[in-house]
Amino acid sequence: MEEQPAYFVKSVEKAFDVLLAFTAASPRLTVSQVAVKADMTRASARRFLLTLTDLGYLRADGPQFELTPRSLDIGQSFLANLTLPRVAEPHLKSLAARLNETTSLCILDGTDVVYVACVPSPRLLSVSISVGTRFPAWATSMGRVLLAALSEPELQAYFDSVHLQRFTERSIGSVDQLRAEIDSARVKGWSMVSQELEEGLRGVAVPVWRGNDVVAAINVSLQTHRAPAEAIEKTVVPLLQDAARQIGNDFGGRQAGLSKAAGQR
Task: Dump pLDDT digits (tens) for 116-132.
Answer: 888 887 664 445 677 88
Return the ∠ at Cα 88 (arms to 82 and 90), rounded to 5°.
110
pLDDT of residue 153 exceeding 60 = yes
Domain end marker among 31, 56, 76: 76
Indicate whether 33 belongs to any domain. yes
Task: List beta partners, residue 113.
Answer: 108, 135
User: To the nearest whole percent, how much of the chain has pLDDT over 70?
Assistant: 88
Predicted pLDDT of residue 130:
74
Output 73 or 9, whichever has higher pLDDT.
9
Assess whether 42 and 157 both reside in one domain: no
Assess whether 57 and 110 both reside in one domain: no
Predicted pLDDT of residue 245:
92
Number of domains in the chain: 2
Indicate whether 194 belongs to any domain. yes
Assess whether 96 and 46 both reside in one domain: no
Indicate whether 149 belongs to any domain. yes
Pick the closest to residue 197 from 175, 158, 165, 227 (CA basis).
Answer: 165
Predicted pLDDT of residue 263:
42
Contact between 210 and 254 (Cβ < 8 Å): no
Q: How far is CA 31 from each of CA 13, 46, 47, 159, rounded to the nearest angstrom? A: 18, 6, 9, 52
Q: Confidence class of residue 264 from pLDDT cuts 50, 70 and 90?
A: very low
Assess whether 254 and 124 both reside in one domain: yes
Predicted pLDDT of residue 240:
93
The C-alpha atoms of residue 178 and residue 172 are separated, in whole angstroms, by 7
pLDDT of residue 190 exceeding 50 = yes
pLDDT of residue 106 exceeding 90 = yes
CATH number of the domain to which 175 belongs: 3.30.450.40
pLDDT tens, position by position, 191-236: 998 888 888 788 899 999 988 889 999 999 887 777 677 788 888 8
Assess whether 135 and 254 both reside in one domain: yes
Q: Confidence class of residue 254 from pLDDT cuts 50, 70 and 90?
A: low
CATH number of the domain to which 24 belongs: 1.10.10.10
Output 151 or 233, whichever has higher pLDDT.
151
Assess whether 61 and 164 both reside in one domain: no
Assess whether 115 and 219 both reside in one domain: yes
Output 217 or 265, whichever has higher pLDDT.
217
User: How many alpha carbons lie under 13 Å from residue 206 in its C-beta half-sphere?
Assistant: 26
Assess whether 87 and 69 both reside in one domain: no
Q: Which of 23-27, 104-108, 198-202 has the highest mean pLDDT?
A: 104-108
Domain that holds residue 96: 82-264
Q: How many Cβ atoms are within 10 Å of 253's Cβ, its own excluded?
A: 21
The C-alpha atoms of residue 42 and residue 161 are separated, in whole angstroms, by 60
Assess whether 17 and 141 both reside in one domain: no
